[in-house]
Structures are given as structure tokens and as C-alpha cells.
Chain A
Amino acid sequence: MSEIEKIRVELTVNGKHHVLYVSPCKTLLEVLREDLNLIGTKRGCDDSNCGVCTVLVNGQAIKSCTMLIPLANGCDITTIEGLEREGGLHPLQQAFIDRFAVQCGYCTPAMILTAKAILDENPNASEEEIRDGLHGNLCRCTGYTKIMEAILDVRDGKYKESCGEV
């Protein structure tokens, strides 16, 4: 098989603009981890099921192992590395720590980003709506209860900054 021609891809990742020349056979996950060294985004099943590769593309949660890189061309991408701001963690990050919603931590970046997508779209999401939004994210450790508690704390304004303005 002959080597495929690389394509030019422009991405804004966590506010930083990148111009890359990559194989169009790569997924967004591979580009984030291998070309941009953003290894906070995890690879689990690599077949679209587990959700640990979730990132935000133009604010929408998608599974980056499932998105061919040309489809991300021109998009604004947020990974877990982009949540921390000057002076501290994002409220969801802090809440996950405070509620002990992290055990091995492998699912955590994706859980936090998915939760962010849910609350950004609907800051008053009900518990059922949050659970429904998290349906595509697996966690093998926590049993989900602590994750829900952390997200509900943020929804209920227990952290001084509200979600939705990141």
C-alpha cells in the first residue's frame, strides 16, 4: 500500500492555534496524543464504546477515537488540559477531588469534559438528564455515585464559579 499524502489541518486546542500536516488516516485522538502530546485524553477500547477519549469539539462532546482528523479541521477543541485556569482547577475538577469521584482516574478526564458539555448546555440539568448524558462513559472503579455527587455539587453552585463560562 502506498503511503497516503498528508493533509493540512488547522486546530485550535485549548485556545492555542496549531497548523499540522498529518495523515488523514489518523483519528483526532491520535493527533492529540501523538502529535500534540496532550496525553490527558485517554485511549481505552478504541472502538467508540468506552468514552474515555471524549473531548469537546466546538463545545460538543464527541469520542475522539471515532473522529477522523479531517473532520476536526478548523474546529475548536477542548481537552482536559484546557480546563485548569489561572489560580486553580475548574470547579468540576475540584469537585471530583473533593467528592473522591476519582479512583484509578482513567475515565476522569472524559467524565469531567462530558459533564462540562452537559452543564454548559443546561446548567439546571436534572439528575436524570446528567445520567443520560453520561451514558456513553464507562467507569470501572467508582460505581458512578461519587461522580454524580461531584457533578451535582457543581450544578448546585457549591463552587463559587458557575459552569458555563469556561
Chain B
Amino acid sequence: MRFEKYFEPASIKECCELLVEYGKDAKLLAGGTDLVPKMKAEVLAPKAVISLHKIPGLETYKLCDKGVTIGALMPLRKLSLCEDLNKWPALKAAAGHVSSMQIRNQATLGGNACNASPSADAVEGLMVYDAIVNIAGPNGDREVEIADFFKGPGKTDLKEGEFVVSFFVPAPEEGTGAAYRKFAIRGDTDISIVGAGARLLLKDGKIADARITLASVAPTPMRAVKTEEFLIGKTPDEETAKAAGKIARDEAKPISDPRASAWYRKDIVEVEVYHAILDAAAAVK
């Protein structure tokens, strides 16, 4: 593994300037759990590696009335265990399903998103809560909804010179329950065959708002919009969850790969969405 230049910018501005200067020849280093194996395998061969670790404030989170802002460098294990974030159980669960303890100690939330893998687990937690991606760039800051951030396998909405600074995760309304489920053959160390997230807002025993998100079944992390629409106004019982699972199965657009065939993934979507909905309903306080 060799690169030619290594930088540790001390500010957001300096980092953007370096990204502009090196363009496609640069790669940002967060935890490195994705970047380092890819550089070793020569899947990626950047000339310049730019560490984010000297930029102040990227590792922390800040709570406010409306929600929480989580820095891009927040390690996934810290996130999954953070008591201050108990309002967002599906985000904590999703982060906690990323690989092993060692990887979670090192891997960051920003890295999980910017990797833009369709199978990313922590991303599902952001999708479940309609998180906003806070982006810094040479022309100033901007915001993107998480569902619009992914453009294809390994592709994000980031333009030259831009990087992710933090995520804003809105506080769920009173009466909300949420869950994330990962299905993989060898447990969390394995990449998911299917990931399914659900958030339900209940009013008078009926579903008033719903998010259903899926991992590993499309070119990007996806929202199962038809399933969400179907759920509105329904009672969150077994019958509803079963019917919703069937709709999600049709919405999923998986491919066959060495981990699982497309039809198997569809079968699993049906089962996992069913469980995610019931888990979310049970989690409503």
C-alpha cells in the first residue's frame, strides 16, 4: 500500500482546499476500515490521503430540542452504546450491527455513509429517521436529505471539494417506535443479505406515519415508499405487517451475488419487514 502525500488539515476550509487541489487523486481518511483494505487490494490507489482527524469537533454529537447533530467521525461503537441517543434506538441498533467490536471501534458514521455501499448498516438508521447530511465545500455549506445522498453503488451526491461534516437526526415525535434488523449468514461480521428498518408513528392505535428502509436489495440504500403508503391508517398488527412484507418484497430490486440470489433476498425482505414493523410497533412507548 503506497500513496504519495499525506495531509492532516486542521480546519474545514483547509480540507476543502486540499480536496479541490487533488481532485480525483485524493481520498479522505476517516476510520479507514473501508479505505485501508481497498488500498491494500489496489481497488483504490489515491495519490493523496487526507485525514479528517485534526479538524475539531467532528467526533462529537450535540443535542438540541429538535434532534441531534452527530459528527462525521463519531465511531460506530460509541454511537451504538451512547445513552444520550436513546431516543433513536434504530440508529443505535443499526450502528451496532456493523461487523465486529474492533471494526466498530474504528469505523465512523461518516465513513459508513460516504462509502455508499447498498449494504451499509448504520446508514439505515439515518434513513429510518430522515436524517439530513451536512456538507461543507469550497462554495460554502449545504444540506441534503439522506435518501437523496446516494447515487449508486459507491456514488454519493458529493461534488468536488466537498465532504460530510455531520448528520442532523430529527427527534421522533411522541408515539414513535423504531427498529432495525440485519439478516446475514454469519451474524454481524458478515455483510447483510438484507437489512430492514422501520419507524412507525401511532395515533389512537393507528399508524399515522411510517418509514420502511431496506439495505442490500437495490443499487443504493432505499425507502420502500409503497409499503409506507400502505401502512398509513392501519392497525400495527400481524395481519398488517404480513401484508406490508409482501409489498416490500415487490418493491425490493435485488441482484444475485455470491452472498445470496435475488429471489432469496426477496423472500427475506418479506420476513424481515414483517418483523421490523412488529418490533417498531412494540417499541412505541
Tell me the A residues contacting B by CB distance below 8 Å. 1-2, 4-5, 7, 24-25, 27, 46-49, 51, 54, 57, 60-63, 65-68, 70-71, 114, 117-118, 132-133, 135-137
A-B contact pairs, 7 of them (CB 8 A): A4-B4, A24-B6, A25-B1, A61-B101, A66-B32, A67-B106, A135-B100
Residues of B within 8 A of A24 (CB): 3, 6, 49
Residue of B nearest to A45 (CB): B37
Question: Which residue of the partner chain, among A4, A46, A114, A118, contacts B5 with CB atoms under 8 Å?
Answer: A4
Residues of B within 8 A of A47 (CB): 37, 40-41
Q: Mark B38-52, 1 if CB is under 8 A from A, else 0.
A: 001100000001010
- Decide if B29 touches A1 in the complex (CB within 8 Å): no
Residue of B nearest to A48 (CB): B37
- Decide if B189 touches A62 in the complex (CB within 8 Å): no
Residues of B within 8 A of A132 (CB): 101
Question: Which residue of the partner chain, among B2, B77, B100, B101, contacts A25 with CB atoms under 8 Å?
Answer: B2
Residues of A within 8 A of B1 (CB): 25, 27
* Total of A-B residue pairs, C-beta within 8 Å: 84
Q: How far is the CB of A166 from chain B (nearest CB, A)?
A: 18
Measured in the bound complex, the distance between the Cα atoms of B29 and A4 in whole Å is 17
Residues of B within 8 A of A70 (CB): 6, 8, 51
Question: Which residue of the partner chain, among A5, A25, A54, contacts B102 with CB atoms under 8 Å?
Answer: A54
- Decide if B36 touches A27 in the complex (CB within 8 Å): yes
Q: Mark B96-124, 1 if CB is under 8 A from A, else 0.
A: 00011111011000000000000000000
Measured in the bound complex, the distance between the Cα atoms of B141 and A77 in whole Å is 37
Measured in the bound complex, the distance between the Cα atoms of B36 and A44 in whole Å is 15
Residues of A within 8 A of B3 (CB): 4, 24-25
Residues of B within 8 A of A67 (CB): 32, 36, 106
Measured in the bound complex, the distance between the Cα atoms of B103 and A5 in whole Å is 28
- Decide if A62 touches B37 in the complex (CB within 8 Å): no
- Decide if A4 touches B6 in the complex (CB within 8 Å): yes
- Decide if B100 touches A136 in the complex (CB within 8 Å): yes
Q: Is B17 an interface residue (CB 8 A)?
A: no
Q: How far is the CB of B12 from chain A (nearest CB, A)?
A: 19
Q: How far is the CB of A147 from chain B (nearest CB, A)?
A: 15
Measured in the bound complex, the distance between the Cα atoms of B105 and A60 in whole Å is 7
Given the interface pairs A67-B32, A71-B32, the reply to whether A48 lies near B103 with Cβ below 8 Å is yes
Q: Is B235 an interface residue (CB 8 A)?
A: no
Q: Could you list 18 further interchain pairs (A-B, Cβ under 8 angstroms) beyond the known A66-B36, A68-B36, A136-B189? A: A5-B6, A7-B6, A25-B2, A46-B40, A47-B37, A47-B40, A48-B33, A54-B102, A61-B101, A61-B105, A63-B102, A63-B106, A65-B36, A66-B33, A67-B106, A71-B51, A114-B101, A135-B101
Task: Please report which residues of chain B, range 1-44, place their CB below 8 angstroms from some CB of chain A when the two chains form the complex.
Answer: 1-6, 8, 29, 31-33, 36-37, 40-41
- Decide if B102 touches A1 in the complex (CB within 8 Å): no
Measured in the bound complex, the distance between the Cα atoms of B188 and A49 in whole Å is 12
Q: How far is the CB of A7 from chain B (nearest CB, A)?
A: 7
Residues of B within 8 A of A1 (CB): 2, 4
Measured in the bound complex, the distance between the Cα atoms of B36 and A14 in whole Å is 25
Residues of A within 8 A of B2 (CB): 1, 4, 25
- Decide if B4 touches A136 in the complex (CB within 8 Å): no
Residue of B nearest to A59 (CB): B105
Q: Is B187 an interface residue (CB 8 A)?
A: yes
Given the interface pairs A70-B51, A71-B51, the reply to whether A136 lies near B103 with Cβ below 8 Å is yes
| Residue among B3, B53, B103, B188 facing the most chain A CB atoms (10 A cut-off) | B103
Measured in the bound complex, the distance between the Cα atoms of B184 and A135 in whole Å is 13
Q: Mark B65-103, 1 if CB is under 8 A from A, else 0.
A: 000000000000100000000000000000000011111
Q: How far is the CB of A22 from chain B (nearest CB, A)?
A: 11
- Decide if B4 touches A114 in the complex (CB within 8 Å): no
Measured in the bound complex, the distance between the Cα atoms of B98 and A135 in whole Å is 11
